[in-house]
Amino acid sequence: MNILLVYPKFPDTFWSFTFALSFIGKKAAFPPLGLLTVASLLPEKWPKRLVDVNVEDLLDKDLLWADMVFVGAMAVQRKSARTIITRCKGLNVKVVAGGPLFTSEPDGFPEVDHLVLDEAELTLPRFLTDLENRNPEKIYRASGYCDLSATPPPLWDLVNMKRYASVNIQFSRGCPFDCEFCNVTSLFGRRPRLKTSRQVITELDQIYASGWRGSIFFVDDNFIGNKEFLKTRLLPALIEWRKDKKGCVFFTEASINLADDPELLEMMVTAGFDSVFIGIESPDEVSLTECHKTQNKNRDLLESVAVIHRSGLQVMGGFIVGFDNDTPSIFQRQIDFIQKSGIVTAMVGMLQAVPGTRLFDRLQRESRVMNIFSGDNVDGTTNIMPRMGMEKLLDGYRSIMEQIYSPRNYYRRVRTLLKELKGSRINYPLNFQRFLSIFRSAFRLGILGKERFQYWQLVLWTLVRKPRLISTAITLAIYGHHYRKICNLYIL
């Protein structure tokens, strides 16, 4: 049976890095790890192809080759997913769909032949058995969670890794916290489930053997959900793995309590991590209480960020406005916090209610869910009726984005970060595209860009004060170009 796996297109978003990718000659930020893992769960004898619409066109001949098309998507890919499904049905090709979008909205896609939802390790084998017996059902759901120690490595040979800016790997699923607005616990549970260190090293060996020498994203919802395993098993294994390796820098997502563990911070940096995304959400304790972000309460958030920066890890932060307890003062407080913290990559979004979360259920009972969740945190929309009023929220949100991504404030934050950040311990191989990105940024940002003064000021300041971080400075300047484009596209 010929299987075509199709990954729908991402719109231009904060995390798509669309306007930064051209600087390094790449097509997309990340390959479709979920579909690559699904491919590894399919019978080995079945011919398989994968088309990532973010890096190549999906042709009719691809669809006609297939006996079945597997589509996996997140909510932000909804529009492209619908287009792909419509094309399949027009050519009379059966569609199997799964992933977060379809798991959260199973009733929204009646035209899909088979919905294999929740974790594929549990539901896909049942579908395959029924398919072999010629009686597959419409929908497959799981009542529990899978054992990740049995998950096979992704089939990396289905993609051309040179088209991507980073590759990704998964160590764990689930998060011990239970924030009201987050759907991680509803999808994956509160007890982090882990792959073995041997599994992770095997996957890294495959990635390295392919010739990859760039950044690797641990996609875990909270990488530090099981600190004991990290410190005694995985991080020692990563440190040993990197001893004879060139390049390969890691980044991941974690909770703010990372700042409370100096040993863990040191081990992560030694293992090759250089940045971490953390959900800060709000500097307001009342709003943190409202959304059950308990791990962020009763602490000096600015100092926690500074501790992580001083360890050598750059903090990328998530922020939310529009909580019920937010007052109009929250907008300036968010601006002040972001500027003081030196968090350069500040993803600020209006509160949205994701189906499956406690927030969605609560606001639906209050008749405050207005439309479909877009899946895009920074597109200037929300699917709820905020207590402060929509017009006031939109105006305040625009003021935040306009100020924090103005060249003056953005480049000031870069300098704040670089002052605190330790020099990199990672030797980045200077490949041809990375070499060209230096000249592209100098021309497009330093000559053509409106931020030309701030760009050259940053470059000269870094060369004098922090010369080992010049690559980081230029990378962040390129990111700033992307973020401003996104702001101008959706918000300002």
Distance CA 93, CA 158 (A): 21
Tell me which residue has tokens 């019978």.
43
pTM of the model: 0.95
CA 200 to chain centre: 19
Residue 375 lies in a domain: no
pLDDT over threshold 80, residue 431: no
Q: Which CATH number does the domain housing residue 208 bear? A: 3.20.20.70
Whether 326 and 239 map to the same domain: the answer is yes
Whether 413 and 460 map to the same domain: the answer is no
pLDDT digits (tens, 9 = 90+) for 234-272: 999 999 999 988 889 999 999 999 999 999 999 999 999
Residue 359 lies in a domain: no
Whether 79 and 223 map to the same domain: the answer is no
328 CB neighbour count, 10 Å cutoff: 12
Residue 414 lies in a domain: yes
Q: Which CATH number does the domain housing residue 9 bear? A: 3.40.50.280
pLDDT over threshold 80, residue 432: no
Our count of domains for the chain comes to 3
Instruction: Specify the higher pLDDT residue, 186 or 60.
Output: 60
Whether 183 and 245 map to the same domain: the answer is yes
Average pLDDT over residues 411-437: 80
Distance CA 369, CA 426 (A): 46
Whether 118 and 58 map to the same domain: the answer is yes
The 3-class SS string of 209-265 reads: HCCCCCEEEECCCCCCCCHHHHHHHHHHHHHHHHHHCCCCEEEEEECHHHHHCHHHH
Residue 77 lies in a domain: yes
Mean pLDDT of the residues in the chain: 95
Whether 245 and 321 map to the same domain: the answer is yes
Residue 357 lies in a domain: no
Whether 127 and 179 map to the same domain: the answer is no
Distance CA 49, CA 158 (A): 6
Whether 181 and 134 map to the same domain: the answer is no
Distance CA 14, CA 18 (A): 9
Band (429; pLDDT cuts 50, 70, 90): low
Residue 129 lies in a domain: yes
Whether 34 and 176 map to the same domain: the answer is no
pLDDT over threshold 80, residue 155: yes
Supply the DSSP symbol for 164: B
pLDDT digits (tens, 9 = 90+) for 357-389: 999 999 999 999 998 999 988 888 999 999 999
Band (178; pLDDT cuts 50, 70, 90): very high
Whether 69 and 118 map to the same domain: the answer is yes
Whether 172 and 135 map to the same domain: the answer is no
Whether 171 and 303 map to the same domain: the answer is yes
Residue 382 lies in a domain: no
Residue 247 lies in a domain: yes
- The range of the structural domain enclosing residue 442 comes to 432-490
